[in-house]
Each structure stands twice: as structure tokens, then as C-alpha cells.
Amino acid sequence: MFALKRVLSAVPQSTSLCVSHFSACHCLKTSRKSSPYSSVDSERYSSLVKSVMSSRVSSQTPETLQAEDDHIYGPVVKAQTPTRPEVREPKTLHPFLNCEETVDTEEPESGLPARISLNRGQGRSFVPSVTRILQQTLSPEQIFYLERWKRRMIAELGEEGFKEHSQNLFRQGKLLHSALEDILTSGAAWKDRDPSETPEYPPEVRGYLESISHVLEDVSAVRAIESTVQHGTLNYLGIVDCVARYRGVLCVIDWKTSDKPKPFLSNTYDNPVQVAAYAGALNNDGNYKYQVENGLIVVAYKDGSPAHAHQLSSEVMLEYWKTWLLRLEEFTEKRASHASSTLPENR
């Protein structure tokens, strides 16, 4: 007890010691220091702060964060909802198939393939061709890319070099079609041919023939080769490369050559429209007693790499048939407009 009194006497008066059941915990209480702000009129200071925070620094100080962003970065331009391109439909949806003819694709083929030559003297002198119609109805985008390619080729080859290059491509195409005509009218299937008896074809087309050799193995029952087709109602004509079965399906076949790989149908540009136009004309031409619903575009390569074969089902052909009707309408309107503008004025 005496010791406890000594401890208590040693503790300064400004502090206190709390003892409970001989368990000592000291709670030191120090004297509070006076704050330098204690003498400030808090109510008046609070009013001053509120007035500063609520007032604008200058006339250019934005009132809100949105106004500040607009001041720094400009007003927000809201993106417009993208509009889908308008789907055009032909004014008159002429039938792709001839209702009077039956689609009898199982009819056995016999005899030589048809080859109807183009004779412009038999009322065909003013009938436009499929190729001409497509060339004169190119879209601005197609014209742009075509001109850009032409300028690039001229820059690389020169004017004369480009002209020679174009002539060579045309000549190689004719040689390839001639070789294919010989092969497909020989009567023997390509896969059953005897290599020792295969005639020597010009060097310019050997690579192309090697390229399409795997396609020729699936071609059979040839019905037409380089044959003219004409649509009497729509007044246009064309020359189909081939009508035959490919893997058992009767198709209008179009042979194409290319320096660049074309693995997708979209790489063939207007070729599907051309095939649909040929098939539609054939289906409405009285010289052909059958109907064709499918198409095939074969892209051959000079280096002998495997050709790309793009099959067009009957559904796809119908879509390209609509595109062809639109192009044909555009051509007809342009020709009518040109004819009316060249007529002599009535005096």
C-alpha cells in the first residue's frame, strides 16, 4: 500500500490513472492546445467558402463538366444509326425458267454437243450481247478499280507493253477455249484419256490445261460447246462456253483465266451475273429442249496451280438473275435516252 501511494504521488497532476481490480491501465489526459482557428468566425468563414465555390471565376468558366468538355473538345457529335442499302428489285421479274419446258435434267444425253454459231445477219444485228450490256452498266466503283488497274499496268509496262499484254491474254483465252472444245467433243472422258495419245497443245495453254485437269475429271455429258443463246423476250444474246454435267449436275460452265488466285466467288466480279444471263437465255431459247438451273465458273491459272471451281446453285443463280435484270433495265434506259437525244428536232 505504501508503494502504491508512492506511485500515485509520482504521477503528475495533469494526468490520471484508472485502477480497477488491481489491473492498471493509464489514460493519459493531456491539456488541449488552443487552435489558431478557434478565434475565427466559423459561420462567416463558411459563408465565404460557399460564395467562392458557387461563383464562376470568369465569364468563360464552364458551369458543368459537360460544358467544360464541350469547351475543350467541342460538342459531342452523335453517331447516326447506319442505314441499310436499299435492296433494288427489277421492275419486271421475268422468269428464269421457261414454264413451257420441263426441267428434265435426268434426260440421257446423246449425239454431238450443240454448237450454234452467231450469225448477225439473221435479225441479230441490233441485239446486244451479254458482255456489251455488262460493260456499259459498270458501277462507278467498278470503273474506278478498272481504271486504277489499267493505269498501274501502263505505268509498269508502258502503253505499247500494255496493249501487247492485253492481246496476249485474249489470244491465250481463245487458244484455251479451242483446246477445251477439242477435249470435250472427243467423246472420251478426261480421266480415261491415254496420255500418249493426247495431242500437243500450244505452250501458252499447257499450264491452264494442267490447272483445270482435276475439274475436267468431273465434267461429263456435254450438251453444248461455244453455242449462241438468245432471249427473244428480253432481246439479248450471248455465247455459252459449255453446257455439261459437273459432278452429275447440269450446269452452264464458264472458263476463265487469271494471273491472280480467285478462291472466292466474290473475286470473279460480274462473272456470276454473266453465267445467270446465259442460263436465262438458254432456258428461253427454242433451240434447246432442256432447262439449266445451275452454273459453274472455273478459274484457270497459267502456272498450272489447281483451278478454282465456283459452283452456283439454283438459289444463287436466281439471285444473280435478278441482278442481271437490273443491269439489263439500266442498259435499255440508257440506250433509249441516247436514242432520244440524237433524234433531229422537229422544226
Q: Which among 29, 33, 254, 303 is annotated as catalytic?
A: 254
DSSP structure class, residue 230: E
Closest of 258, 346, 337, 323 to residue 93, by C-alpha? 323
Q: What share of the chain is helix, strand, coil (3-state, %, to 5)?
A: 45, 15, 40
Q: For residue 241, indicate whether it is catalytic.
A: yes
C-alpha cell read off for 330: 439500266
Q: Which among 241, 285, 302, 322 is annotated as catalytic?
A: 241
DSSP structure class, residue 195: G
| C-beta neighbour count of 311 within 10 angstroms | 15
Q: For residue 192, indicate whether it is catalytic.
A: no
Closest of 250, 178, 247, 173 to residue 216, by C-alpha? 247
* Residue 132 to residue 238: CA distance in whole angstroms: 10
Residue 281 — φ and ψ, nearest 5°?
Answer: -70, -45
Q: For residue 254, indicate whether it is catalytic.
A: yes
Q: Which among 91, 104, 256, 302 is annotated as catalytic?
A: 256
* Residue 210 to residue 212: CA distance in whole angstroms: 6
| C-beta neighbour count of 131 within 10 angstroms | 13
* Residue 250 to residue 222: CA distance in whole angstroms: 9
Q: Tell me, what amino acid is at 259?
A: D
Closest of 330, 240, 323 to residue 283, by C-alpha? 240
* Residue 217 to residue 213: CA distance in whole angstroms: 7
Q: Is 236 exposed, middle or buried (0-12, 13-18, 19+ CB in 10 A)?
A: buried
- HEC letters along 114-149: ECCCCCCCCCCCCCCEHHHHHHCCCCHHHHHHHHHH
Q: Which residues are catalytic?
A: 241, 254, 256
